[in-house]
């Protein structure tokens, strides 16, 4: 058995031990394999990407903000355009100097109002001659002084008047308050003549009809709307009327004249068309612009 193993078996055994020892020393000298750290690397990469994006955003903001500031500076340096306000009647009248009314002004108003309501032939009939008008107020007169000028024979006229439900002088204004003011201004002119207020505020039409029927009234002062209503209800007739005075030049708090107020203008045109213009054409009534 020993002969079959051969002479060198121990040598081979020694060699195998030596090789095993060498392999162990090589394994000791070789560095140990590091464990994989893939998740941490991914986190770092993600953090770097986020930081890079933030940097880019900051850089973009730095580039953009100065441009915005420049635009804002340019806008602030440019003067802002103000919107033009529409001019009202008050604005126009406030900027214009007051001018006394004239017969031509009234004629133009009548023509304009009836231009789309009457035929051409009927419009011709509405035109009044200059002889139909009294002299106009030149803005220097009070009501009494103006009436004394245009009605120099008033004392005689008022004595001759003896008809009920009618007046000799009719003064037309825009409101009840203005009516009261004008009646107060009549004291030095009217003498013994009786004056009546003809407006709608606090007074019924029926009451005014009764007052006109009771006695003789020489002067009526009121608004065109109520005067027209009295004429239509036959509480006031125009048979004795000689003078129609319009409170043309007076202006209210908004600087509007009587004819500048739409509803008053409509009532006035209705009153003129309700027998006044006919009386003027027949030379029975004279119109004055106070």
Q: What's the confidence (pLDDT) of residue 64?
A: 47
Q: What's the confidence (pLDDT) of residue 268?
A: 95
The strands making up 286-289's β-sheet, listed across from edge to edge, are 195-198, 219-222, 169-172, 243-246, 286-289
The CATH T-level fold of domain 98-289 is Rossmann fold (3.40.50)
Rounded-to-integer distance, Cα 131 and Cα 283, Å: 8
CB atoms closer than 10 angstroms to residue 61: 11
Rounded-to-integer distance, Cα 263 and Cα 136, Å: 24
Determine the average pLDDT of the residues in 198-210: 89
What pLDDT digit, counting tens, does each position of 232-277 carry?
988 999 999 999 999 999 999 999 999 999 999 999 999 999 889 9
Please provide the size of the chain in residues: 290
Mean model confidence pLDDT for the chain: 80
- The four Cα atoms 24, 26, 31, 37 give a dihedral, to 10 degrees, of -70
Q: What's the confidence (pLDDT) of residue 82?
A: 67
- Extents of the domains making up the chain: 98-289
What pLDDT digit, counting tens, does each position of 95-120 carry?
666 788 899 999 999 999 998 888 88
């Amino acid at each position: 058995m020993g002969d079959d193993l051969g002479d060198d078996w121990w040598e081979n055994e020694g060699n195998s031990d030596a090789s095993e020892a060498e392999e162990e020393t090589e394994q000791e000298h070789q560095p140990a394999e590091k464990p994989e750290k893939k998740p941490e690397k991914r986190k770092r990469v993600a953090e770097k990407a986020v930081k890079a994006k933030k940097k880019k955003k900051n850089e973009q903001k730095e580039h953009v903000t100065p441009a915005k500031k420049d635009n804002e500076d340019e806008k602030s340096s440019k003067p802002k355009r103000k919107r033009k306000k529409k001019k009202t009647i008050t604005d126009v009248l406030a900027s214009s100097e007051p001018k006394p009314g004239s017969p031509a002004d009234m004629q133009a108003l009548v023509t304009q109002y009836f231009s789309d309501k009457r035929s051409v032939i009927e419009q011709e009939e509405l035109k009044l001659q200059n002889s139909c008008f009294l002299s106009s107020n030149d803005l220097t007169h009070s009501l009494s002084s103006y009436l004394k000028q245009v009605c120099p024979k008033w004392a005689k006229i008022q004595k001759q008047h003896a008809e009920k439900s009618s007046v000799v002088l009719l003064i037309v204004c825009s409101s009840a308050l203005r009516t009261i003011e004008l009646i107060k201004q009549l004291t030095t002119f009217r003498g013994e003549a009786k004056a009546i207020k003809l407006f709608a505020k606090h007074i019924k039409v029926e009451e005014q009809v009764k007052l006109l029927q009771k006695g003789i009234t020489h002067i009526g002062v009121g608004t065109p709307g109520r005067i027209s209503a009295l004429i239509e209800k036959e509480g006031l007739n125009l048979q004795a009327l000689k003078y129609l005075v319009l409170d043309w030049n007076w202006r209210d708090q908004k600087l509007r004249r009587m004819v500048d107020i739409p509803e008053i203008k409509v009532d006035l045109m209705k009153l003129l068309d309700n027998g006044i213009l006919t009386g003027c054409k027949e030379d029975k009534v004279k119109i004055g612009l106070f």
